[in-house]
Amino acid sequence: MQPLHLTGLSQAELSDFVASLGEPDYRARQIFSQIHARRLRSFDEMTDLPKELRAKLSEQTTISTLALESRYISTDGTRRYLFKTRDNKPVETVFIPEENRDTICFSSQSGCPLQCTFCLTAQLGLLRNLTAGEIVEQIIFALNDAYGVGVQPPRGTNLVGMGAGEPFLNFEELMKAIRIMKEPNGLHIVPNRTTVSTAGIVPRIRELATIPDRPHLAISLAAPNDELRNELMPINKKWPIDELMAACKMFEKSLKRGERFTFEYVMLDGVNDSAEHARQLANLINRYRLHAKVNLIPHNPAEPLPYQPSPMVRVEAFQSILESKGVHAFIRRPRGRDILAACGQLAARSSPRLSEQL
Ligand code: SAH
């Protein structure tokens, strides 16, 4: 039998488990905070707990299931971690240092079942969904590596569910992980600091809108019309653009003051980056009167993907057309390309700049 993975339990579930051991309830709060606030990686370090309890815990449970296989550090400071789960499935996490706040990009699945033609993760296929505990562990590990065990990030942390996998095809575990991470007695990363990105799983966009303390939403669009989107993102055949936009319209009602949602648009040289595509995109957003912003992402190339990034002048021209039609558009600077850590490059590959084992 697999040992119980404590990192994926809510405080309430941990209370039940602690009660089943015949221990007082305050132990549950203690254990929760040692895992999530102090970010300890073994029971031996939990010296506030009696020895017998620690022995019992290490017999029946575990707090770390992800084994680091390699760590790569980019010339721009971005770090990519490649882990293996207990059943040997790859998981990747990216730590992105930024001027204001650092960002951790986590994965929600090992591999991905979607077949987006511009994304390297698609080549893996779906290996399996990650558990809430495996999602939370990625963040604990990245924080410990970047700042030291238990050290508070000086400027807080943003989380993005933009690593491998389609978060909305693993909705329950994703939302559970987000609830665990918001606990003040734990990591205390509030959903307001978290953005999840979807390729357009329409029913889950609608569901997210009904959740009071929810993360922000980003939608990967990549094309302004069904013909091209069907080709680039086959999920579009199931939920075409009109259905996606209707769901966005509904989601928009749940936006808080000052909150916007984002369309991500990967810029593929000669494929989706013409002036006509820009006009179509602006018209689409304006037709539905969506208060969304657009992030233009220069394509991150990798063998054997058949695309090249659009030249910067074309990305800028695309942005100008959107802006001239009243759509706010931003150009995203690629991070960690040299270590295969940028958007769409996660495929459990080795890369240059392997750093020493921890
Ligand atoms: N499956 C989810 C989460 C992954 S997010 C989703 O599709 O939203 C990954 C982001 O990177 C998406 O916005 C996707 O459009 C973008 N992307 C994928 N491959 C890319 C590539 N090769 N270059 C640049 N961006 C890419």
How close is the Cα of 11 to the center of ligand 1, in Å? 33
Question: Per-residue pLDDT for 5 more than 70?
Answer: yes
The answer on 114 and 15 residing in a single domain is no
Looking at the structure of the chain, the number of domains it has is: 2
SS3 295: strand
Instruction: Tell me, yes or no, whether 218 lies in a domain.
Output: yes
Question: Per-residue pLDDT for 332 more than 60?
Answer: yes
Atom of ligand 1 at shortest distance to CA of 305?
22
The answer on 292 and 243 residing in a single domain is yes
Rounded distance, CA 335 to CA 329, Å?
Answer: 19
Cβ–ligand 1 contact at 198 (below 6 Å) = yes
Cβ–ligand 1 contact at 297 (below 6 Å) = yes
The answer on 147 and 31 residing in a single domain is no
pTM, rounded to two decimals? 0.97
Cβ–ligand 1 contact at 309 (below 6 Å) = no
**What pLDDT is stored for residue 233 in this prediction?**
98
Cβ–ligand 1 contact at 264 (below 6 Å) = yes
Cβ–ligand 1 contact at 157 (below 6 Å) = no
Instruction: Tell me, yes or no, whether 358 lies in a domain.
Output: no
Atom of ligand 1 at shortest distance to CA of 265?
15
The answer on 81 and 42 residing in a single domain is no
Instruction: Identify the domain boundary among 40, 62, 84.
Output: 62
pLDDT in tens, 194-222: 999 999 999 999 999 999 999 999 999 99
Cβ–ligand 1 contact at 199 (below 6 Å) = yes
The answer on 143 and 15 residing in a single domain is no
How close is the Cα of 343 to the center of ligand 1, in Å? 5
Instruction: Identify the domain boundary among 31, 62, 93.
Output: 62
Rounded distance, CA 35 to CA 13, Å?
Answer: 14
Cβ–ligand 1 contact at 197 (below 6 Å) = yes
The answer on 145 and 17 residing in a single domain is no
Instruction: Tell me, yes or no, whether 169 lies in a domain.
Output: yes
The answer on 124 and 36 residing in a single domain is no
How close is the Cα of 137 to the center of ligand 1, in Å? 22
Q: For the CA atoms of the chain, what is the radius of gyration?
A: 21
Rounded distance, CA 10 to CA 260, Å?
Answer: 29
The answer on 140 and 42 residing in a single domain is no
- Identify the residue whose tokens are 């007082």: 24
The answer on 134 and 250 residing in a single domain is yes
Atom of ligand 1 at shortest distance to CA of 162?
5
Q: Mean pLDDT throughout 75-99?
A: 97
DSSP per residue, 34-54:
HHHTS---SGGG-TTS-HHHH
Question: Per-residue pLDDT for 357 more than 60?
Answer: no
Question: Per-residue pLDDT for 356 more than 80?
Answer: no
Cβ–ligand 1 contact at 166 (below 6 Å) = yes
Centre a 10 Å sphere on the Cβ of residue 45 and count the other Cβ atoms it contains.
14
Instruction: Tell me, yes or no, whether 270 lies in a domain.
Output: yes
The answer on 248 and 322 residing in a single domain is yes
Instruction: Tell me, yes or no, whether 320 lies in a domain.
Output: yes
Say which DSSP state 233 is in.
-
234 preceded by a cis bond (ω within 30 of 0): no
Q: Mean pLDDT throughout 158-179?
A: 98
Instruction: Tell me, yes or no, whether 262 lies in a domain.
Output: yes
Instruction: Tell me, yes or no, whether 87 lies in a domain.
Output: yes
CATH number for position 289? 3.20.20.70
Rounded distance, CA 267 to CA 265, Å?
Answer: 6
From 104, 105, 121, 162, mutation site for ligand 1 pocket: most ligand atoms within 8 A of C-beta: 162
Least reliable range by pLDDT among 80-89, 150-159, 314-323: 150-159
Alpha helices in 148-240 (DSSP H): 171-182, 202-209, 226-232
Q: Mean pLDDT throughout 147-169?
A: 95
Active site residues: 92, 343
The answer on 53 and 199 residing in a single domain is no
Cβ–ligand 1 contact at 229 (below 6 Å) = no
Domain carrying residue 96 = 67-339
How close is the Cα of 214 to the center of ligand 1, in Å? 21
Q: Half-sphere exposure (CA, 13 Å, Cβ side) for 202?
A: 15
**What pLDDT is stored for residue 100 in this prediction?**
86
The answer on 170 and 45 residing in a single domain is no
- 330's CB contacts (< 8 A; 6+ apart) are 293, 294, 295, 296, 319
Greatest distance between any 2 Cα atoms in the chain:
69
pLDDT in tens, 230-243: 999 999 999 999 99
From 115, 116, 119, 194, mutation site for ligand 1 pocket: most ligand atoms within 8 A of C-beta: 119
Instruction: Identify the domain boundary among 62, 82, 100.
Output: 62
How close is the Cα of 198 to the center of ligand 1, in Å? 9
CATH number for position 15? 1.10.150.530
CA 323 to chain CA mean position, Å: 28
Instruction: Tell me, yes or no, whether 347 lies in a domain.
Output: no
How close is the Cα of 17 to the center of ligand 1, in Å? 39
